[in-house]
Structure 1
Amino acid sequence: MARLIREVMTRNVEVIGPNDTVREAARKMRDLDVGPLPICDGKRVQGMITDRDIVVRAIAEDMDPVRTPVSAIMSKGIQYCFEDDQAEDVLERMEELQVRRFIVVDRDKKLVGIVALGDLAGEESGHRVGKALEGISEPASH
């Protein structure tokens, strides 16, 4: 039976504002025990920041985490899907794009949740999720 993303996504996603600092993002990630945080100005998603972004884009570049806004190191052009998309279609897109999560928006493009590869693991798609994760975990060939 086909599932919709709204049936498997995580709701009430914590966000951070674009002018909040890298330190505030790191503390929020620690307190929530999460790796990614959507960056929102109101309900609209501006980008995404991950724990890896903090290390690779801020710390490794000697940016001051107390003064650097998350907007300076966030990933822009993030992938999203709609809450009424079919889970199988989203899984296919994750495989193609080699990403582990999508922001979930409503048809007005307002944030309503987040869906991770693991959320899509059901009886019928568990094998595909494993295969997708293998491809995502492999280094990209340059």
Structure 2
Amino acid sequence: MTTAADIMHPGAQWVPATETLDRVAQLMRELDVGALPVSDPTDPNERMCGIVTDRDIVIGCVAAGHDPARVTAGDLCKGTPRWVSADADVDQVLREMENNQIRRLPVIDENKRLVGIISEADLAHHLSDDQLAQFVESVYA
């Protein structure tokens, strides 16, 4: 059985909710990623409170006329964060992404620590053509 841990991109990094968006964007550039999970620095377990994408920064901050040096990652986090366990099977991963129409999914271990992220590119490398077509249809519909 293929699990989330098998298909994820390992080594994902958190940014604290207090981090400014200009720094988040710089970190995205350095890491060559389009999204970063956001942790709640007031939580001693550093639990995820959301995820910020490059698109969020452009649409939710820059295009809205806000200064990314003054807006934080936490300011953009909305809704309930979605994630999957590292031992989840591929069907569970796809269900979570499809049901929530998300393109990136953080992966956590048994201690609730971030261990990776699954992106569309990761899915493309590990799914059959039929599975990938169904995913694209569900998420982009």
In the TM superposition, 1:8-19 aligns within 5 A as 8-19=7-18
Q: What amino acid sits opposite 1:52 in the alignment?
A: R
Q: Which residue of 2 aligns with 1:24?
A: 23
Q: What code does the residue aligned with 1:27 have?
A: Q
- Measured at CA, do residues 128 and 15 of structure 1 come closer, stay the same or move farther in structure 2, by a change above 3 Å? same
C-alpha displacement at 1:123, in angstroms?
6.5
Under a length normalisation based on structure 1, what TM-score does the superposition of the two structures give? 0.84
Percent pairwise identity: 31
Report the Cα offset of residue 89 of structure 1: 2.0
Matched, 1:46 2:45: no
TM-score (norm 2): 0.84
User: Aligned partners of 2:64, 2:52: CA distance in 1, in Å?
Assistant: 16
In the alignment, which residue of structure 1 is the partner of 2:5?
A: 6
Take 2:56 and 2:99, find their aligned partners in 1: how far apart are those partners? 22
Q: CA RMSD in A?
A: 2.0
Aligned residue among 72, 89, 92 for 1:89 = 92
**Matched-pair contact (CA < 8 Å) for 1:49–1:75:** no
1:118 corresponds to 2:121:
yes
**Counterpart selection for 2:135 from 123, 132, 139:** 132
How far the C-alpha of 1:124 sits from its partner, in A, is 5.7
Distance 1:123 1:102, change over 3 A: closer
Distance 1:69 1:123 in 2: 34
Contact 1:95–1:135 (Cα < 8 Å) also in 2 = yes
* Inter-CA distance 112–124: structure 2 relative to 1 (3 Å threshold): closer
> Number of residues paired by the alignment?
137
1:72 to 72, 75, 78: 75
Cα contact 1:36–1:50 (8 A) shared by 2: yes
Stretches of structure 1 that go unaligned for 5 or more consecutive residues are: none
* Alignment partners' CA distance in 1, 2:54 and 2:122: 20
